[in-house]
């Protein structure tokens, strides 16, 4: 009986390890660092509040590393600090709702990475237009550049609208996307 339980635990751990590796793999997709992802992976899959030492042991990484990455995770809002009565250590637990995690990460990346891109792109367009129009009906090559920048802007603006529904419209997206996906 004991051996069967031990065996089960071992296999559970194996699956967990694979899951954490998966999280690691996904990290580049989500734009967070691999170790940060691994830590979050452990917290998500176990569904428990773990201490720094738990995580250090589980992933075999240093204290400093865990500390840094945990604080980043808390900053992102993916992980919460929790306390246990009579224990001075901090414990950490992950959000459980996948949609919430997704929108959190995506909206922050949008703000940090996409919004600045859009504004420089708009500046490009404006300067090109100004130059182009000022200069004897614009050289054909300038016209072409203006067209290309506009195409790109049009595309990104569309994407932005879509993103807006995702991140701002309190889960209106969830249904919208669900409908869209099911209709196929």
* Alpha-carbon span 177 to 104, nearest angstrom: 17
- 65 binding partner (options its own copies, DNA, none; Cβ < 5 to 8 Å by kind): DNA
Instruction: Tell me: does residue 113 bind DNA (CB under 7 A).
Output: no
Q: Which of 8, 57, 82, 133 touches its own copies (CB under 8 A)?
A: 8
Q: Which of residues 30-49 bind DNA (CB under 7 A)?
A: 33-35
What binding mask, one character per residue, do residues 73-112 give for DNA by CB under 7 A, x or -?
A: ---------------xxx----------------------
* Burial (CB count within 10 angstroms: exposed 0-12, middle 13-18, buried 19+), residue 80: middle
Decide if 9 contacts 53 (C-beta within 8 A): no
Decide if 16 contacts 42 (C-beta within 8 A): yes
Minimum distance between the CB of residue 48 and DNA, rounded to whole angstroms? 15
**Part in contact with DNA (CB under 7 A); list of ranges 56-64, 103-111, 118-126, 161-169:** 56-64
- 25 binding partner (options its own copies, DNA, none; Cβ < 5 to 8 Å by kind): its own copies
**Token pair for 39:** 């830590």
In degrees rounded to 5, what are phi and psi of residue 48? -110, 165
Minimum distance between the CB of residue 30 and DNA, rounded to whole angstroms? 13
Q: Is 31 left (phi over 0), alpha (psi -120 to 50) or beta?
A: left
Given the complex with DNA, which of 52 and 156 has the nearer CB atom?
Answer: 52
In the chain, at which residue ranges do the beta strands (DSSP E only) sit?
50-51, 79-83, 90-94
Site residues for DNA per CB under 7 A: 33-35, 51-53, 60-65, 67-71, 88-90
């Amino acid at each position: 009986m004991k051996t069967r339980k031990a065996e089960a635990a071992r296999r559970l751990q194996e699956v967990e390890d694979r899951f954490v590796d998966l999280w690691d793999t996904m990290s580049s997709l989500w734009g967070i660092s691999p170790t940060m992802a691994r830590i979050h992976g452990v917290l998500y899959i176990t569904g428990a509040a773990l201490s720094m030492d738990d995580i250090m042991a589980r992933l075999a990484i240093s204290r400093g590393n865990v500390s840094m990455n945990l604080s980043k995770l808390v900053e992102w809002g993916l992980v919460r600090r929790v306390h246990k009565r009579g224990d001075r250590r901090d414990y950490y637990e992950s959000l459980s709702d996948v949609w919430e995690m997704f929108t959190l990460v995506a909206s922050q990346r949008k703000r940090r990475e996409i919004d600045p891109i859009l504004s420089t792109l708009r500046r490009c367009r404006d300067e090109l237009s100004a130059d182009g129009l000022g200069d004897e009906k614009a050289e054909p090559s300038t016209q072409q550049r203006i067209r290309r920048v506009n195409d790109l802007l049009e595309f990104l603006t569309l994407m932005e609208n879509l993103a807006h529904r995702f991140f701002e419209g309190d889960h209106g997206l969830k249904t919208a996307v669900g409908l869209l996906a099911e209709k196929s």
